[in-house]
Amino acid sequence: MNPRKPSIAVYKFSSCDGCQLSLLNMEDELLDLAEAVDIAYFLEATRAARPGPYDIAIVEGSITTEHEVERIKEVRRDAKILIALGTCATSGGVQALRNFADHKVYASKVYEHPEFLHYLPTSTPIAEHVAVDLELWGCPVNKRQVLEIITALLNNRRPNLPQYSVCLECKRSGTVCVLVDKGIPCMGPATQAGCGAICPSNGRGCYGCFGPAKSTNVDSLVHILRNAERMPGETERLFRGISGNAPAFQMAAESFISKEKK
């Protein structure tokens, strides 16, 4: 092993803290992790913080303010390896819904005095601002995958992150396809595996929080889901969801929304 334990810093940007929590949720592995790495900066876990530079920066959240635009550059400067943790960090998250609408309308509906808000009109992934070495999708991320990337980094090995669709996870676990069996709209066929098919195994459709799978056919899925809609606009809501700002899902949504408006 390394003579010196690699240092890790965990940062939060615009996010709900859920992905950081999944780090703390690794009950069985947390002690091993603390032994293997030096957790130098992790405000959600400990107030003791040591200054950088760090070996690994784990960044949760998206970029939604001017201040964050500057701060992420500092994070990048301070870290050898930067990991974008969770779908906010990899695609903008649910707060990227504003990217497809008038953000002022949203703000005025939520806040009594939106004039006091300081924010950017869009929510954007970390990789739009600085170089990202590794992206881990999910809302929230899967703790086994978090452990996998840390293990991979510590051991100089490529992490095992599946690029195939959620359908394989359903089939391997014996979950019967909710789309074919029950007619429930499901984004699984075009969504990257990694969650363990949590939603379908609980009788719900996948809502794509792990982002688009590699080399699947999003356009065909749009067509299928629109025929399976149980209420008008259901497909749009699925594609404009947590991973809505991911280019593949965004393009798919735009293609049929624009067709409809014509």
Partner 1 sequence: MQNEFIFGVNSTVALQKKDFDLLLKKLQELGYEVVGPRVDEQTLRYGQINTMNDLPKGYISKQEAGRFQLIHTGHSRYFDVIPGAQSWKQFLFPSRVELFELNKNAGRWDINRTESHSPAYAFIGVRGCELAAIQIQDKAFIREDFTDPFYQERRERAFLIAVNCSNPAGTCFCASMGTGPRVESGADLILTELDNVFLLKIGSELGRNVLNGLPVESASAFLLQAAERELEQASKKMGRTLDTEDLPELLLENLDAAHWQKINSRCLSCANCTQVCPTCFCWDTVDTMSLNGTETKRERVWDSCFNPGYSYQAGGNTRPTIHSRYRQWLSHKFGTWKVQYGTLGCTGCGRCITWCPAGIDITEEIAALRKEVKK
Partner 2 sequence: MIEQTLKHSTTSHTSGLLEPVWAEIVSITPEAEGISTFWIRFTDPAVAATYSFQPGQFNMVYIPGYGEAAISISSSSEDSALIGHTIRFVGNVTRAISRLKVGDVIGIRGPFGSAWPIREMEGHDVIIACGGVGLPPLRPVIYYIMNHREKFGKVYLLYGARTPSDLIFPKEYASWEEANIQVHVTVDRADEDWQGQVGVVPMLFYRFRMDAPNSLVLTCGPEIMIRFVVYEGLARRVQPENIYVSLERNMKCGQGSCGHCQLGPYFICKDGPVFRFDALQPYFNVEEF
| Residues making contact with partner 2 (CB under 8 A) | 155-158
Taking CB under 8 A as the criterion, the residue among 172, 233, 247, 255 binding partner 1 is 172
Count of alpha carbons within 13 Å of 30, Cβ hemisphere only? 10
158 binds, among partner 1, partner 2, none (CB under 5 to 8 A by kind): partner 2
**What's the per-residue H, E or C state across 22-65?**
HHHCCCCCHHHHHHHCEEEEECCCCCCCCCCCEEEEEEECEECC
Shorter beta-carbon distance to partner 1: residue 53 or 203: 203
Cα-based angle 93, 196, 234 (whole degrees, multiple of 5): 50
The least distance separating partner 1 from the CB of residue 36, rounded to whole angstroms, comes to 4
Residue from 43, 50, 121, 173 in contact with partner 1 (CB under 8 A): 173
Task: Report CA-CA distances (Å) from 140 to 202, 207, 229.
Answer: 17, 12, 26
Q: How far apart are CA 57 and CA 78, in angstroms?
A: 8
Helices (H) and strands (E) in the chain, counts: 12, 5
Question: Binding string to partner 1 for residues 118 to 147, with x set by CB under 8 A, is what?
Answer: -----------------------------x
Q: Which residues pair with 63 in a beta bridge?
A: 124
> In the set 92, 140, 189, 194, which binds partner 1 (CB under 8 A)?
189
Residue 29's binding partner out of partner 1, partner 2, none, with CB under 5 to 8 Å set by partner kind: partner 1
211's torsion region: left (phi>0), alpha (psi -120 to 50) or beta? left
232 conformational bin, left if phi > 0, alpha if psi -120 to 50, beta if neither? beta
If one asks whether residue 36 binds partner 1 (CB under 8 A), the answer comes out as yes
- Is 188 a binding residue for partner 1 by CB under 8 A? The answer is yes
Q: Applying CB under 8 A, does 33 fall inside the site for partner 1?
A: yes
Least Å distance, CB 215 to partner 2, is 13
Please name the residues in contact with 190: beta carbons below 8 A apart, sequence gap of 6 or more: 165, 208, 212, 213, 216, 217, 218, 221, 248
Stretch that binds partner 1, among 81-89, 98-106, 156-164, 254-262 (CB under 8 A): 156-164
Q: How far is the CB of 177 from partner 1 (least distance, A)?
A: 6
Out of partner 1, partner 2, none, what residue 255 binds, judged by CB under 5 to 8 A for its kind, is none
Tell me the three state secondary structure of residue 225: helix
Contact by Cβ (8 Å): 14, 63: yes
Residue 157 CB, nearest distance to partner 2 (Å)?
5
> In sequence order, what are the residues at sequence separation of 6 or more whose Cβ sits closer than 8 angstroms to the Cβ of residue 223?
none
81 binds partner 1 (CB under 8 A): no
162: left (phi over 0), alpha (psi -120 to 50) or beta: beta
Residue 217 interaction partner, one of partner 1, partner 2, none, beta carbon < 5-8 Å per kind? partner 1
| 251 near partner 1 (CB under 8 A) | no
Q: Footprint of partner 1 on this chain (CB under 8 A)? A: 1, 29, 32-33, 35-36, 147-148, 150-151, 154-155, 157, 160, 162-165, 167-168, 171-174, 176-177, 179-183, 186, 188-190, 203, 214-217, 219-221, 224
